[in-house]
Amino acid sequence: KAGVTQTPRYLIKTRGQQVTLSCSPISGHRSVSWYQQTPGQGLQFLFEYFSETQRNKGNFPGRFSGRQFSNSRSEMNVSTLELGDSALYLCASSLGPVDNEKLFFGSGTQLSVL
């Protein structure tokens, strides 16, 4: 069974631009969550989607948004990029909808904002 797939693996953008990251969960998994990892703040929860609905949201500005499609694939979008948005963005999937399940992470998208 294929794991969680994130694309692209690396991305370089400039300030003010917007970016879209993609995540395909493990087959059969219906819950997708996103995390941001930076050297200063560590791993922080962004949001979670189940059945195309946002179930939970972390403490990030509205420039960070996401969505989930009917096939459970998810995208996250960051608009008006800032230098501080440079980070590793990790997607995780779980079976859903039961809470507190084991999470499986993808390899991440490394975003650099210049």
Out of 24, 87, 108, 113, the only residue in the binding site for other proteins (CB under 8 A) is: 108
Question: In this complex, which beta carbon is closest to other proteins, that of residue 35 or of residue 64?
Answer: 35
| Length of the chain, in residues | 114
Give 7's contacts (C-beta < 8 A, 6+ positions apart).
21, 22, 109
53 pairs with which residues across the strands? Answer: 50
Question: In this complex, which beta carbon is closest to other proteins, that of residue 75 or of residue 104?
Answer: 104
Site for other proteins in 28-87 (CB under 8 A): 31, 33, 35, 42-45, 48, 50, 55-56, 58
Coil vs helix vs strand at 102 = coil
Out of 78, 92, 111, 113, the only residue in the binding site for other proteins (CB under 8 A) is: 92
